[in-house]
Structure 1
């Protein structure tokens, strides 16, 4: 079946007929383009929770439509175009690789508002938004550094973009602060969502001695791999990515980074309704609640849990920034002096490892 036919069916099923009326007023139509399935248990699952929050907040004043498993590239452009043609007023494109397709389609539909997650290209009708995931990575790194027995942390990385590199650096920095013997082993899987690849990477890392698994991929497969290793007599801990993944707690999953998009999606939909929407760049973190830390289970020692909670409170209050010097780059050159805080511009374009991280960033 052709993609356009599938989309037409989705649109009809969602009641996306142009000119739908709610209480005598035209409904605001909001579209969501997802890189994975809404049941991935991670990234796309949390974005879909944002869609559900929009429906709950506005009831029959809105209509929503979404398409899952949209590859980054030409397919994404076709999906966005179809949504715009079906009368969407606002379209959220929820993956980094949708950046150029979003810009291209937005240029053809100047009256449609677009919101692109984790990118950096904007236009009069294109906003960008992201979360400071690196704040959560700092907390994970602290716990990992305190709890590892092998001193080997495995990291499943998706694509070598600044968002992922920041996460690796933040986690390593805070793990090494409390455990100078820590070593990070990084596997790049070049996918956001591929349970088979993610599980394979987790298993390889565990075989290499990692007793902590971190991930910047979207499925729960690494959690399942860690659980299987423990069932076979291992002692591996893991952390949920993008959503709580609490079904794998209290171990291996001892905590998580939760991306809470709902308030942002509700606010931006409201702005379209009010006629106050404008192109902005949003990069929020623990201070606004866009980044949350899931329950820290009792598998984490009480002292370590208290330290992690204190870090969370300090970051949320603006009293501590995860990238505070002294920090050197991987080659030993100075990056941040003692007490100096990284600026957002450098963080947004981060393309280097910090001192102590081994290996090269793929090109």
Structure 2
């Protein structure tokens, strides 16, 4: 669903009239839940930001809430704080700040609006009127790394992301530890290239990691992922694991799997808790592999039964606590000249 252009706001309009706040669908009744969302990116990025927006639409359709949002806000402190303040000034029941890059901005603004509740998705921060809801994408990323360790033929596995935010760092760390669990001799190439949405940058970095020997690459990108897809289609000898949603049905020639982490559920569950009275400030709610609708490793039909069976066993081990998913990484970073 795409809304009229005037509903989509950026830094340039971060402090304009509240009439420019976006909304979708039929407005709910006066006593319904009022939810606003800050999206530091674009709602049609085929990735993390779009998933958050879809969660907001679910809040409207399933909870009957009134919704507003701001997207295209640069992930910079001043811009995020201004956008949050503009949303909070309208007095919604709940503001969902979608993405860990909003965490510090929420903490800076929340004190000024004590009657508004804030939830950060993938943020891990709390305060008197702040909670966090986290879909544990590092768990599906760990499984993707484990599968990559079993499947690589070159014994070189890559990872590409854009900006160094906490969820991305945790996902990278999870993938690395999964890789080391099944193939401790594999070489790991990892880079945060600086932009989630730059297709040309993603294409160039993909080619560089492929030239360095990687035959499987885990991409944690948004709109920039298209550049990685096109680079792999042109080469034909490199494949990728995607993230956030399933990709192999759309691009069967490129994707061998996807570390699914349906981050739309984080915002939805926060709003649902607000509606039913169970929302609490000062808590971090985690959603992991025990909820396969939210977190799982999806594998393409071409993946062998042997790999599938191993991944199924590892999934059970993580969910049961027999394997701890570590998210640290202190190894070398890949550099593109």
| TM-score, normalization by structure 2 | 0.84
TM-superposed deviation, 1:268: 2.5
Which residue among 271, 274, 280 is the counterpart of 2:273? 271
Question: Which position in structure 2 is the counterpart of 1:112?
Answer: 116
Is 1:302 matched with 2:285? no
Task: Report matched runs for 1:170-319 at 5 Å.
Answer: 170-219=174-223, 221-222=224-225, 224-232=227-235, 234-279=236-281, 280-289=283-292, 291-293=294-296, 295-319=298-322
Distance 2:146 2:297 in 1: 15
Deviates more, 1:242-251 or 1:207-216: 242-251
Distance 1:174 1:237 in 2: 18
Q: What are the superposed Cα offsets for residues 309-337 of structure 1, whole Å, 9 maximum, x if unpaired?
A: 222233234343334xxxxxxxxxxxxxx
Distance 1:43 1:154 in 2: 20
Gaps of 5+ in 2: 1-9
Question: Which position in structure 2 is the counterpart of 1:66?
Answer: 69
TM-superposed deviation, 1:249: 3.4
Deviates more, 1:272-281 or 1:208-217: 272-281
Gaps of 5+ in 1: 324-346
Residues 1:276 and 1:321: Cα distance change in structure 2 (over 3 Å)? closer
TM-superposed deviation, 1:170: 2.8
Which residue among 107, 127, 132 is the counterpart of 2:131? 127
Which residue among 48, 56, 61 is the counterpart of 2:61? 56
- Number of residue-to-residue matches in the alignment: 323
Deviates more, 1:243-252 or 1:150-159: 243-252
Question: Which position in structure 2 is the counterpart of 1:103?
Answer: 107
CA RMSD of aligned residues (A): 2.9
TM-superposed deviation, 1:11: 2.6
Aligned residue for 1:108, secondary structure, equals: coil
Q: What are the superposed Cα offsets for residues 188-213 of structure 1, whole Å, 9 maximum, x if unpaired?
A: 21233333322222122122221111
Rg (Cα) greater in structure: 1
Residues 1:149 and 1:275: Cα distance change in structure 2 (over 3 Å)? closer
TM-superposed deviation, 1:223: 5.5
